Amino acid sequence: MSVEKWVYGYHEVAAAEDHLDGDWEAVRGLLGGKGANLGEMTRIGVPVPPGFTVTTRACNAYLATGEQFPSGMWDQELAAMKEVEEQSGKEFGAPANPLLVSCRSGAKFSMPGMMDTVLNIGLNDETVKGMVALTGDERFVYDAYRRLIQMFGSVVLGVSDQPFEHVIEETKTANGMKDDTELTADDWKAIAARFGEIIKEEAGIDFPQDPYVQLEMSTEAVFKSWNGKRAIDYRNAAGIDHDLGTAVNIVTMVFGNMGETSGTGVAFTRDPANGEKVLYGDYLMNAQGEDVVAGIRNTKPIAELEQDLPKAFSEFVDICARLEEHYKDMQDVEFTVEQSKLWMLQTRTGKRTAKSAVKLAVDMADEGLISREEALLRVTPDQVDALLHPQFDPVVKATKPLLAKGVNASPGAAVGQLYFDADTAERMAKEEGQDVIMIRPETRPDDVHGMLAAKGILTSRGGATSHAAVVARQFGIPAVVGCDELNIDLDDRSVMASGTLLREGDHVSVDGSTGEVFSGKIPTVHPRFEDQGDLIILLEWADEIAYQEGIRDLPEGSPTRGLQVWANADYPQDARRARAFGAKGIGLCRTEHMFFEDERLPIVQRMILSKDETERQTALDELLPFQRADFEGVFEAMDGLPVIIRLIDPPLHEFLPSFEDLLVDVTQLRMDAKRVGTDAGRTLLSDTLSAKEKMLGEVEGMRESNPMMGLRGIRLGIILPGLIEMQVTAIFEAACNQALKGVDVHPEIMIPLTGHVNELNAVQPKLEKAALRIMREKGIEINYKFGTMIEIPRAALTADQVAETAQFFSYGTNDLTQMTFGYSRDDAEAKFLLEYVEQGILPENPFQALDQEGVGKLVAMGVELGRRTRPDLEVGICGEHGGEPSSIEFCHRAGLNYVSCSPFRVPIARLAAAHAAIKRPALVV
């Protein structure tokens, strides 16, 4: 039986691809993103140090078998080391010409800093002597040796970094030094010796002198780091599966700390913050890569490398262009220059902000690098959401004194309370519900849980490619890094800047777009959609694709031939905003919301409490002009587009004071009446009490055991027909008035809560007669429809019958979900629903993402049945699911004509609709 191949050299990436039938995603899954890309760079002739990858399958096998290497893996790793020796011309563990390697993680999806790395493996008390003789640079060698001991101690043996860092700081202080670069060879030699003692003291073992033991233990440590807390937290936040495992990459060491012709850096082929086509990144001369990403030294911008190392910089620029052309995306690269020789250590698809994602997608499509479809898929709905997040009010911001300024690492506005460590930041955010700004000298991978809980991140050290910057950009957290003015005292839990002392819990405002930090709170404003040029272009492409690429060819006369995005809007200003965001219609205009305004509510209450039809009709006649004016404004705002207006839906008692509040008031007034001493006071109290008691009696008479399933919607229209007839009159008078002014009106009247077609048959014909009467009176005909809201399972199950009367369906998925599950939404979310999701009983909250297996079956069934009866039936949804991407994809597959959501969700829904059309999955019911 053949032994599985656990190890692939970088020159073997083609063999791995052949083994996996040319599936590059499978190659990335097997070798991890880092290993696959190092192999690919080797294949296309980019200078990569010799090395190999231990597969993710080996990691999963190791973790599944009680942390034992799978059979044959270690032998293959030893054989691969021999090949690296041949390729490099060096020997692992030999004092004369020692080979040193790094051991790095590399999962399929990038998880920057979340798993472990060990550098300079192969150094020991003997090989350091050979390295000194070989390089003639004792300082460099002992700096490298102490790094190995420190990283091995913290990564492999679990020793805290603090005692190691304390030794370095103590040495610098004793010698009057500020930076690590000032330490001498003797200093590093003494520090390395002390580090060995720390390992003995803390871990109870000697630092291993056998290079192969170092390699074996480091490989295990990287495997184990897959299940480390920070890696799990990161995967949870990024939506990465926990069963992928990490590969291990063993790479020949190249050194950026070999003097003034050496350096190391991290760069992006375009600006990951704003998408501009310019190299963006940091580097350090005479340093190793960890110094850049850890943020322990403030870095130099990548453009200055042209002055420091012009030949290497020129080659680097050419390679970046080649990599972007090859991968057809912005690349995040790591490099080292060793004595003027450039080596590429990594390339991967770069993490980017929302603004950058949109600009990159549009620019690369315009450049012909990718198609428009690919451009749309490059941007996520969450990124569109983030792009439209609030920003600081510029007027108020201009009045605030600047506290500090640093690198604008991740854009956005964040206001919160300062906390100085990740555990406290997470606790205050989750347990106390505070908005948190996490402040640190620099962040480490172990801080990721606090970073994810924070509204903003602030550091005094680090650059644009430091750990804090990369993580913040990926998760859309505003961040300012490298603020030199911040004098952070972790022990005192305070920070001094610009003469201002701030303590833990104080408020600050962080502007990640400008790199500015302010004391106190600055209010935010929503950015203008009209100013988002690249996003507007992208969403125009989205509309074209979502509309033209619908899954089914609908009959001629259908309102759409794909999935459009409409909006829920109750007032003219909402409708104007929705249209500005790109909505193609109003999918839900709730008439009852208009009744709650101060000047109207007393009339509504009078109508509800009236004792006869005459009194009720008088109140309805007073309400009609208000309703008509509302609808005129909405029709004008949506000139040329459809407007679906839902007739009154909630039970009437919702327009009256609550029973509980009235009961308290009556009880208090009765007690007060006993204490009042004057006749005038008693009379006043008596009148008030009488009115309250009367209202209490009326409300009590209207109380229902289950109002959601009681007298509301179409049932209310049957019992009180005058109410909905008034609303239809207002709608058609408004529509005709606007049509006479030249406005292109398309009213669609939605009758809510139909459960049986006979209910619709009892109501709709009367309303249609009212519509015809008004059009005759106005002397104009307009296009209109009457339809119903499908919120009750029975209506979906008998949709073929309902469609005989209804000319369109709109799924009210909020109520349909409640009735399908048998949940009261408020009670369920307050009492058990969150726990259901946490325990895996439900995959997600069905009120946030449509339950496709249950509620979705009813939707799909209703669409199919309804169109059997009425082939041109217009169907949409107008619940909260209309703005949720996975629900939108389902609606596309089910053949709906539109989704309707809040105006602010319209841009997100437009992109999600295009994603659904591009993917074009088949519907499974």
**11-37 tens-digit pLDDT:** 999 888 888 888 989 999 999 999 999
Spot the catalytic one: 449, 467, 892, 915: 467
Question: Exposed/middle/buried for 460, CB within 10 Å: 0-12, 13-18, 19+?
Answer: buried
678: pLDDT confidence band, cut at 50, 70 and 90?
Answer: low
Packing angle of the helix pair 613-637, 601-609 (nearest 10 deg): 140
For residue 560, the model assigns a pLDDT of: 44
d(CA 139, CA 110): 34
Helix locations, 638-678, DSSP H:
659-675
pLDDT above 50 for 708: yes
For residue 738, the model assigns a pLDDT of: 97
Strand partners, 440: 459
User: CA angle, 483 as apex, 477 and 487 as ends, to 5°?
Assistant: 120
For residue 230, the model assigns a pLDDT of: 82
553: pLDDT confidence band, cut at 50, 70 and 90?
Answer: very low
- Per-residue pLDDT of 261-272, as tens digits, reads 999 999 999 999
DSSP of 260-299, one letter per residue? Answer: TT-EEEEEESS-TTT--SS-EEEEEES--HHHHHTTSS--
For residue 921, the model assigns a pLDDT of: 57
Percent of the chain exceeding pLDDT 90 equals: 62
- Residues 297 and 359 sit within 8 Å (Cβ to Cβ): no
Which of 571-580, 613-622, 670-679 shows the lowest mean pLDDT across its residues? 670-679
For residue 315, the model assigns a pLDDT of: 97
pTM for this one? 0.77
**Average pLDDT estimate for 715-730:** 91
**Average pLDDT estimate for 666-691:** 67
DSSP of 801-813, one letter per residue? Answer: HHTTT-SEEEE-H
689: pLDDT confidence band, cut at 50, 70 and 90?
Answer: confident
Which has more confidence, 562 or 81? 81
559: pLDDT confidence band, cut at 50, 70 and 90?
Answer: very low
pLDDT above 90 for 8: yes
683: pLDDT confidence band, cut at 50, 70 and 90?
Answer: low
Q: Strand 500-503: give its sheet, edge to edge.
A: 487-489, 494-497, 500-503
**Average pLDDT estimate for 643-663:** 79
Which of 696-705, 794-803, 860-869 shows the lowest mean pLDDT across its residues? 696-705
pLDDT above 60 for 924: no
For residue 659, the model assigns a pLDDT of: 64
Strand partners, 107: 246
pLDDT above 70 for 549: no
The alpha carbon of residue 369 and the mean position of all alpha carbons in its chain are separated, in whole angstroms, by 26
For residue 344, the model assigns a pLDDT of: 96
pLDDT above 60 for 680: no
Mean pLDDT of the chain: 89
- Tell me the three state secondary structure of residue 639: coil
Spot the catalytic one: 320, 483, 878, 901: 878
For residue 685, the model assigns a pLDDT of: 66
- Residue 878 is among the residues annotated as catalytic for this protein: yes
pLDDT above 90 for 679: no
d(CA 664, CA 662): 5
pLDDT above 90 for 465: no
pLDDT above 50 for 823: yes
The alpha carbon of residue 414 and the mean position of all alpha carbons in its chain are separated, in whole angstroms, by 16
d(CA 317, CA 203): 45
For residue 534, the model assigns a pLDDT of: 95
Letter for the amino acid at 512? G
- Tell me the three state secondary structure of residue 536: helix
Which range has the top average pLDDT, 219-223, 294-298, 678-682?
A: 219-223
- In Å, how far are 575, 581, 689 from 566, measured between CA atoms? 10, 10, 48
Please choose, from the candidates 921, 858, 867, 460, the residue with its C-alpha nearest in 3D space to the C-alpha of residue 877.
Answer: 858
- Residue 320 is among the residues annotated as catalytic for this protein: no
d(CA 741, CA 635): 11
